[in-house]
Amino acid sequence: MPNEPGRLLTYSRESAILLASMEFLKSITPKRASEIIGAFPIQSGRETVHIEEALNRVLSQDIISEEDIPPFSKSLVDGFAVIAKDTHGAKETSPLFLTVGGRVEIGTETDIILKEGSSAGISTGAMVPANADAVVMEEHARRLPDAVEITKTVYRGENICFKGEDIARGNRVLRAGKSLSPFDTGVLAALGISQIPVYTKPAVAIISSGDEIIPVNETLPPGKIRDINRYTVSNLVKKSGADTSFIGIACDSIEEITEKLRLARMHDLILISGGSSKGERDYITDAIESLGGEILFHGISIKPGKPTIFGKLWGKPIFGLPGHPNSCIMVTIRFVLPLLRRMKGETVADNNIITGVLTTNIPSTYGIEEYVRVAVEVVDGTNYMTPVFAKSSVISSLASSSGYVVIPESAEGYEKDEKLEIHLF
């Protein structure tokens, strides 16, 4: 064929497009993606918040107890404080008799000192007399005019919480890097700590993109869909303890996406959904690079969520999330939230994983890590999981799922009755 300048130019352009497409398809492994995300440099600020604002915040330093909890030995029941050895041998058919040397009510200090063969009436939570080492429950004692009849043997420590038994002075009770639960705030309250040292909350910017996306409150015209990802991603991020700002919806143009990215500049993390798939142009990657950013990877060998983008812009991490809701959510859970936890300073992880029995076969493709949503039903104490198969654009499947299982790249699926780990939502 003769050399034709016009034809040569066309061929070169087509080759460039083909090469770009091939480059896109060079997805990295999920392990490598996690390594790249995990190596991204993070600096977390610190602040002090009141205990009422501490829920889900991450401790920036260890909490060391400066006092004993409880601060005094207290009774766990209503009954009679005793010296345990004085009750040995007591039973319903052969009770023992003890004198009663007063009563201790909750919220009062006592100076009662028990003598051998004596007791003191006591309320639940009240201070135990100094030399008492057990409490007989009301149900195992019968009050007489000048004594009490004990119908059950008790042993040292029975029905008593001793001073410092819960928390001892000088012990580390909460570790730096722990996200505070409601129970943790109870521990802090018990210790009298109202000002809590924590890491600052990451500020996350959320952008939706796509010519087909409209706000949730608008009437749905033909060819359009409402913005789902704004709410699912935002609420996942909020639930993880970060603050979110919705920057807006950008049409599929580098100008609009660039404008929205500029508005997100002051945030610690930028999440933009839609527009990460291979098309005529990669608007998100083009916009990031036009602002001086760097694409660290584009494409992970996972299903769903393959066309995920991760990069650096203004020294901050940025994700280009898939537009399909299921893909977007799974990538957020598997890759965004671990980074977010690190940005929060969280190092003490609570893995929400259970084991279950598969009720049917799950096929998979070799070489791709796949996330399969499952519904869990508990039968006679055993967790049974059933796959919830749905296309990546079907949001309702997530609402009916309890969690997901991970099928590694080296497997071609799982068979019925296999026991697997379930990552609960």
Domain with 386 in it: what CATH number? Answer: 2.40.340.10
pLDDT at 284 over 50: yes
How many domains is the chain partitioned into structurally?
4
Instruction: Please give the C-alpha separations between residue 181 and each of 178, 239, 341, 386, in angstroms, as whole numbers.
Output: 9, 12, 15, 31
CB 424 within 8 A of CB 385: no
**Which 8-state DSSP code applies to residue 125?**
T
Element (H, E) at 283: helix 283-290
SS3 state at 324: coil
pLDDT tens string 319-377: 999 999 999 999 999 999 999 999 999 998 767 899 999 999 999 988 999 999 999 99
β-pairing, 213-214 vs 225-226, is parallel
Task: Please answer whether residues 198 and 48 qualify as being in contact, where contact means their C-beta atoms are separated by less than 8 angstroms.
Answer: yes
pLDDT digits (tens, 9 = 90+) for 125-144: 999 998 999 999 999 999 99
Any idea what the CATH number is for the domain that residue 297 is in?
3.40.980.10
Residues 234 and 326 in one domain: yes
Report the alpha-carbon distance of residue 161 to residue 159 in Å, rounded.
7
pTM metric for this prediction: 0.81
Give a yes or no: residue 19 inside a domain: no
Range in 112-121, 225-234, 392-401, 406-415 the model is least confident about: 392-401
- 329 and 218 share one domain: yes
Asked whether residue 316 is assigned to any structural domain, the reply reads yes
18 belongs to a structural domain: no
Same domain, 214 and 337: yes
Is the previous residue joined to 304 through a cis bond, with omega within 30 degrees of 0? yes
Q: Is 33 a domain residue?
A: yes
Q: Report yes or no: 240 and 336 within 8 Å, Cβ to Cβ.
A: no
Claim to verify: residue 245 and residue 335 sit in the same structural domain? yes
The answer as to whether 194 is a domain residue is yes
- What is the pLDDT of the chain when averaged over all its residues? 91
Predicted local confidence at residue 391, as pLDDT: 64
Residues 231 and 308 in one domain: yes
Nearest to 180 by CA among 406, 344, 376, 418: 344
Whether residues 37 and 138 fall in one domain = no
pLDDT > 70: percent of the chain: 91
Band (pLDDT 50/70/90 cuts) for residue 217 is very high
In which band, very low, low, confident or very high, does the pLDDT at 20 lie, cut at 50, 70 and 90? very low
Work out the pLDDT band at 278, boundaries 50, 70, 90: low
State the pLDDT at residue 389. 82
Single out the residue in 181, 199, 217 at which a domain terminates. Answer: 199
Model confidence at 279: pLDDT above 90: no
Residues 217 and 106 in one domain: no
My answer on whether 51 and 90 are in the same domain is no
HSE of 125, CA atoms in CB hemisphere, 13 A: 3
**Per-residue pLDDT tens digits for 21-64:** 444 457 999 999 999 999 999 988 999 999 999 999 999 999 99
219 and 312 belong to one structural domain: yes
Query: Would 387 be classed as within a structural domain?
Result: yes
pLDDT of 275 reads 67
CA distances from 297 to 166, 280, 285, 311 (A): 50, 19, 10, 7
Picking from 343, 372, 399, the residue at the C-terminal end of a domain is 343
Q: Is the per-residue pLDDT at 393 higher than 90?
A: no
**What stretches of 110-228 show up as alpha helix (H) in DSSP?**
182-190
Question: What pLDDT sits at residue 24?
Answer: 42
Distance CA 311, CA 372 (A): 27
In a domain, 263, yes or no: yes
Tell me the CATH number at 178.
3.90.105.10
| Predicted local confidence at residue 202, as pLDDT | 97
Q: What is the residue range of 375's domain?
A: 353-424
For residues 232 and 326, state if they share a domain.
yes
Backbone angles phi and psi of 377, in degrees to 5: -130, 135
The CA-based diameter of the chain, rounded to the nearest angstrom, is 123
Helix or strand holding residue 338 (H, E)? helix 337-343
d(CA 111, CA 379): 55
The answer on pLDDT for 424 being more than 60 is: yes
Indicate if 185 and 51 belong to the same structural domain.
Answer: yes
Give residue 417's pLDDT: 97
- Stretch 214-225: mean pLDDT, rounded? 93
Closest CA to 194 of 182, 202, 186: 186
Last residue of a domain, one of 343, 374, 399: 343
* pLDDT score at 92: 93
Are 394 and 264 within one domain?
A: no
Distance CA 123, CA 116 (A): 21
The HSE-up count of residue 230 (CA atoms within 13 Å, CB side) is 18
Does a structural domain hold residue 9? Answer: no
Question: Which of 406, 228, 396 lies closest to 323, judged by CA?
Answer: 228
User: pLDDT grade, residue 394 (50/70/90)?
Assistant: low
Q: What is the structure's pLDDT at 413?
A: 92
Question: What gap in Å lies between CA 111 and CA 104, rounded to an integer?
Answer: 9
